[in-house]
Structure 1
């Protein structure tokens, strides 16, 4: 089924959160997932990354990119990235908000002084099977509907009168 890039990004982010990723890494995964799918890369890479949580590339790639950026000089940073997840590495680099490029040797070049060029937003064909699997992961973020959860602060509480 055809979905908006924003819908896919939010769903991928929630799926990563539901599978155990911290919020920041989940958000970066959501952005990278959209790039990954727009570029026509294999969706299995995304599913494998989700299945490897709470470890794996969803945790490791943002941290590796952050370490490279921490070493920047005058807004320019570069450093090697592990190429064992090459397709996912490409998607993470392309999803960065600043100009970044990955060489064939696995070295990322980041220019913090320039914004990343962005193509027009596209729609993404996401299979019903993937949509259902990611929705199930995202559902792990929800609390059960009960008086006990409402007493703990979930929802509108016990006296919803609007």
Structure 2
């Protein structure tokens, strides 16, 4: 009986400590956005924490990249967080990827927030120049306890669509 109690107590303590160590603080918009960029970023060969990634999103959230297809037609593609993991997760690890926020505008009314977040992407932290830049339009919900991502809708910068100065660092 004593051994069972000791094993059960050890299991409960270990589970609690593990849960606390892996718990993200998404109680502020700043923390949520930092966690978003942090969880997908890493050096080549570095695994991503997909449980932490999934913990950012409210039920039925969508990730929506937009841009031109091979025929030059602009459109959007709707993905669940799992679709993103399945489609991009392996590439992120094999190539290295760091998405870095360089500018942000936030609009908030009560439990609703919109974050317009300009980013640049590098394959390694040591890279001096980004290989890509763009803007994430992030819609958020606060459930009274924390912030959740409802949608991320983004597009990459291109020669014909440069990022306007007002969305770049000042």
Common fold, TM-score beyond 0.5? Answer: no
What TM-score do you get using the length of structure 2 for normalisation? Answer: 0.22
Structure number having the greater strand percentage: 2
What TM-score do you get using the length of structure 1 for normalisation? Answer: 0.23
Structure number having the greater helix percentage: 1
By relative contact order (CA 8 Å, sep 6+), the higher-ranking structure is: 1
